[in-house]
Amino acid sequence: MGIFIDQTGYLPASRKVATTTFPCNFQLIDSTTQHAVYDGVSTDSGMDESAGEQVYQLDFSKVNAPGRYYVLAGNGERSHTFVIGEHVYEQLQLDLMKCFYFQRCGCALTSEYAGEYTHAACHTEDAVFLEDYMNQTPDPPHFDMTGGWHDAGDFGRYISPAAVAVGHLLYAYELFPESFQASLHIPESGNLLPDILNECLYELKWMLKMQADNGGVYHKLTSFVHADFLMPEEDKLPFLIYPVSTMTTADFAASMALASRVYAPFDKAFSTQALEASRKAFAYMESHPYIGFHNPEGSNTGEYDDDCDIDERLWASAELLRTDTAHRDTYLKAFEKYSSMTHPEVSKTDFGWTDVSGMATLCLLTDPGNTCGATRKREYEQILFTEADRLIELQKKSGFELSMQPEDFVWGSNMVVCNRSMLLILASLCSEGDTASRYREAALNQLHYLLGRNALDISYVTGEGEHAFKNPHNRPTACDEIDLPMPGWVSGGPFKTPCDPAAIAAVPAGTAPMKCYVDDVGSYSTNEITIYWNSPAVFMTAFFNRTI
C-alpha cells in the first residue's frame, strides 16, 4: 500500500500524477487549509514489470495553484506533502551543485562555506607513478597532483568520470545560463565567473595535471587499495599515478575543448590553455591505437575500464570540430571516420562514462554553427528522435511513467534515469510545438521517479522530500558524526542483482528490480554517490528551472 509521488513537487503547468498499488477515489488536500481542492478517481495502469505490482494512476493535473498539498485516498492512505510552484526545483539544483564543493580534494572545507560538514585539507602529499611504487624504486620522482573532486564514496580521482561530469555541467551552463545566477556560497563566489564555472574550474585544473608531456592522459590517481572508512584528512595511503589509456586521453581532449569554448568569454588565458591541452591529447589519440586499462593484481580502486574507445574518440573530434575552427578539416576528417564506425557500445544516445557518444550528439545538435554539416546533422537528429520515441513508449508501458525496463536496473540505475532525461531534453530542444512539449513532459517524468514516484516511496536525493535516503555509501558522511548527510546527493539506486553484503542481506532473492535497493551505508552496489550521478541531475533541473 502507498501513494507514490514526487516529494519535492510539480511545476504549475505540468502534468501531475501519483501512482498507487490500489484503486481508489482520492482528493488533493491543501495542507495549509486542510480543504480538498480536487476530487478524482484512479485509473488502472496494469502490471508494472519493474515494480512487480499492479498499479494505478491518480491524475490531478488540473490543479495549478501554488501551494503545499498531499493526496488523500478514500481508504485513508495519504501521500507525502509536496509543493506546486514555479520555483519548486531551484533549491534542489543548488543542493545538487553544492555537493561538488563537498567533494573537493586537497583543501580544507571550512564552516564559512561548508557549514557543519567541515574537514581539514586532505591528500596534499605528492604522488608517484604506479610502476615506481610496485617496483619499490628508491627515491622515485614525485609530482604535485593535488586538487580535483573525490569521484564517489571513496577518495580516488579518475579522468573519464571527471570528463563526463564536467561535460554535463558545462553543457548545462552553456544551454541554460539563466539557471545559474544564484551563488553556491563557495570560496570563489563573487568573482567574474558564475559559480558553476568556478566549481568546474577546480576539477579542470586538476585534470590538466594528469596530462603527460607527450599528450597522453593518465587513467586515474588513487591509492593502491581503497582507504578504510575514515575522514579524508585521515587517509595517509600514498597516491599513485596509473598509466595512460586512450579512453581517458580522448575524454580529456573532449572536455578540455568544451571548457575552452565555455570559458572563453571569462578567462582567455585558461581557455587557451585548455585548447592547447586538448590539441595535444587529440594528437596522442590519433597516433595511438586503443590502449586499454586494467588494475594490476591486488589493486581494488575503481577500474573504469572500457574495451572500446570509439565513442570517446567521436566525442573528442566533435568537440574540437566545433571549438577549434582553425583546424576544422583535421577534426572533420576524424569525426567522419569515427562517426562511420559501429560498435555495440557506441549508441550516440548515451551520456555515461562507458558510452560517451551521446555527448558528441549533444555537441553537434546544439551547435549554432552547424559545423558538422546538414547531412550529418539530419542523421544525428534521426538517431536522437528514434531513441527518444522508444523511451516514450517505455513510459506508456510503465505505471510510474518511467523510461526503464527491468533489465535497465543496473549498478547506478539512477544514472540511467537521469541520462535518459537528458536525451529527452535534447529531443525537446531540437523540436517545436506539441512534439517539444511531449519530450519535455517525458523528461520530467524521470525526475519525478528520482524524487519519490517509485515503488519504494523514496526520494533518491538526500534532503529532498519527507522520505529521502539518508545513509549514502560515502566515507565522509559515514564518519563525520553528523546525523544527516549534506543535501543534494543522488543515490545510485536499485540494482537488479545487488552484490554487496548489506544489500544481499536486505533484498530477498526474486525481488522486483525497482525494489532492489537498501538505504544502508554498506551498500556500495545500490547506495553509493558519485559526481557523474549528480551532474546529469544538475543538467535536468537546470532545464526545468529555465523553462518555467
Q: How far is 121 from 113, CA to CA, in rounded Å?
A: 14
Quickly state the pLDDT bin for 1 (edges 50, 70, 90). Answer: low
Q: CB of 548 within 8 A of CB of 84?
A: no
Q: How far is 182 from 112, CA to CA, in rounded Å?
A: 17
Read off the pLDDT of each residue in 68-75 and give the average, rounded to a whole number. Answer: 98
In the structure grid, which three cell numbers stand for residue 516, read together? 532492489
Q: How far is 144 from 517, CA to CA, in rounded Å?
A: 39
Is 528 labeled as catalytic in the residue annotation?
yes
**φ, ψ for residue 327 (rounded to 5)?**
-120, 35
Q: How far is 427 from 515, CA to CA, in rounded Å?
A: 30
Q: What digits encode the pLDDT tens for the residues 349-406?
A: 999 999 999 999 999 999 999 999 999 999 999 999 999 999 999 999 999 999 999 9
Read off the pLDDT of each residue in 502-506 and give the average, rounded to a whole number. Answer: 97
Place of cell 549528480: 534
Q: CB of 290 within 8 A of CB of 246?
A: yes
Three-state SS for 367? coil
Q: What digits encode the pLDDT tens for the residues 439-450?
A: 999 999 999 999
Neighbouring C-alpha atoms within 13 Å toward the C-beta of 348: 23
Q: What digits encode the pLDDT tens for the residues 404-419?
A: 999 999 999 999 999 9
Q: How far is 513 from 52, CA to CA, in rounded Å?
A: 8
Instruction: Decide if pLDDT at 548 tops 90.
Output: no
pLDDT, mean over the chain: 97
With 0-12 CB in 10 A as exposed, 13-18 as middle and 19+ as buried, what is 486?
A: buried
Choose, from 123, 168, 448, 473, the residue flagged as catalytic: 473
Is 150 labeled as catalytic in the residue annotation?
no
List the beta bridge partners of residue 53: 48
Dihedral, 132, 133, 134, 135 alpha carbons, nearest 10: 40
Read off the pLDDT of each residue in 73-101 and give the average, rounded to a whole number. Answer: 97
Quickly state the pLDDT bin for 22 (edges 50, 70, 90). Answer: very high
Read off the pLDDT of each residue in 283-294 and give the average, rounded to a whole number. Answer: 97
- Percentage of the chain beyond pLDDT 70 is 99
Q: What digits encode the pLDDT tens for the residues 308-338?
A: 999 999 999 999 999 999 999 999 999 999 9
Is 483 labeled as catalytic in the residue annotation?
no
Is 119 labeled as catalytic in the residue annotation?
no
User: 95-372: which CATH number, 3.30.2320.50, 1.50.10.10, 3.30.70.100, 1.20.1630.10?
Assistant: 1.50.10.10
With 0-12 CB in 10 A as exposed, 13-18 as middle and 19+ as buried, what is 380?
A: buried
If one counts every other C-beta atom within 10 angstroms of the C-beta of residue 225, the result is 12
Choose, from 154, 203, 312, 355, the residue flagged as catalytic: 154
Q: What digits encode the pLDDT tens for the residues 166-194?
A: 999 999 999 999 999 999 999 999 998 99
Instruction: Decide if pLDDT at 547 tops 80.
Output: no
> Comparing C-alpha atoms, which of 45, 48, 46, 47 is closest to residue 59?
45
Q: How far is 57 from 46, CA to CA, in rounded Å?
A: 10
In the structure grid, which three cell numbers stand for residue 170, read together? 558545462
The per-residue b/e assignment along 503-535, b for 16 or more CB within 10 angstroms, e otherwise, is beebbeeeebbbbbbbbbbbbbbbbbbbbbbbb
Q: How far is 308 from 486, CA to CA, in rounded Å?
A: 36
List the beta bridge partners of residue 104: 149
Quickly state the pLDDT bin for 345 (edges 50, 70, 90). Answer: confident
Q: CB of 486 within 8 A of CB of 116?
A: no
In the structure grid, which three cell numbers stand for residue 15, read together? 502534468
Interacting residues of 480 by C-beta distance below 8 A, sequence separation 6+: 117, 119, 231
Read off the pLDDT of each residue in 153-173 and give the average, rounded to a whole number. Answer: 98
Domain range list for the chain? 95-372
Interacting residues of 543 by C-beta distance below 8 A, sequence separation 6+: 172, 175, 176, 179, 425, 443
* 180-183 LR contacts (CB < 8 Å, sep 24+): 180/542, 182/90, 182/94
- Percentage of the chain beyond pLDDT 90 is 98
